[in-house]
Amino acid sequence: MPALVLYGAPAAGKDTVTDALKRISPRYSLFPRLKVGPGKTAGYRMSSEAAIEALRAAKEIVWENRRYAALYAIDRPMLDMMLTKGNIPILHMGQPEGIEAVVRHVGPKRCVVVHLWCARVEAIRRLKLRDSVSVAARLKAWDDTPEILSPCLRIDTGVTKPPVTAALIHAQMPDHRRDGALAPPMPG
């Protein structure tokens, strides 16, 4: 099965688009990253620094990053299990280096990368609706999230409704593609 990377800044619509994709097919499922630290727990597998260190030592971490005083990790065992069980794991990413790590692990012919974005004013509106306490930190992360070159798709979620966005993404999946080229080219 392929993997789907939804790349974008906070409030770009990754959760909303994931929900819309799940309505298209039950094969789509959010990859639950490991998390150590405060904040949201839904959609994560809460862990400990020691457990992640053990995975790191066993070279079982595909990608990790720190943000919002928390540690997030994509582990090889869970990702491989999802890929082999017929699921299409949806990985939410905000760092280009994370995309590169996932593409290296999954393979460029099995990875679809979609850049979701919206105007800053729309992001602020969404962040205020979601959680007014963390707006400043999320907006800083929004400002720090770079554009990526050559995604399979780039969609402005401020003007494209979630069902349309999901349908556009679904059309990019391998069942619908003939050329086999899914992931953007690796840099340098």
User: CATH number of the domain that 98 lies in?
Assistant: 3.40.50.300
Looking at residue 184, what is its pLDDT? 45
pLDDT digit string, tens, across residues 106-136: 998 899 999 999 999 999 899 888 766 678 8
pLDDT at 179 over 50: no
Angstrom distance (rounded) from CA 123 to CA 101: 27
Is 186 a member of any domain? no
pLDDT digit string, tens, across residues 7-61: 999 999 999 999 999 999 999 999 999 999 988 888 899 999 999 999 999 999 9
Query: What is the domain range of residue 85?
Result: 3-176
Looking at residue 51, what is its pLDDT? 97
Total H helices, total E strands in the chain: 7, 9
With CA atoms as reference, report the closest residue to 155 among 3, 1, 21, 2.
21
Residue spans of alpha helices (H) in 46-95 = 49-57, 76-84
pLDDT at 140 over 80: yes
**DSSP3 helix / strand / coil % (the chain, rounded to 5):** 45, 25, 35
Looking at residue 128, what is its pLDDT? 87
Is 187 a member of any domain? no
Looking at residue 39, what is its pLDDT? 83
Is 183 a member of any domain? no
Is 185 a member of any domain? no
Structural domains in the chain (count): 1
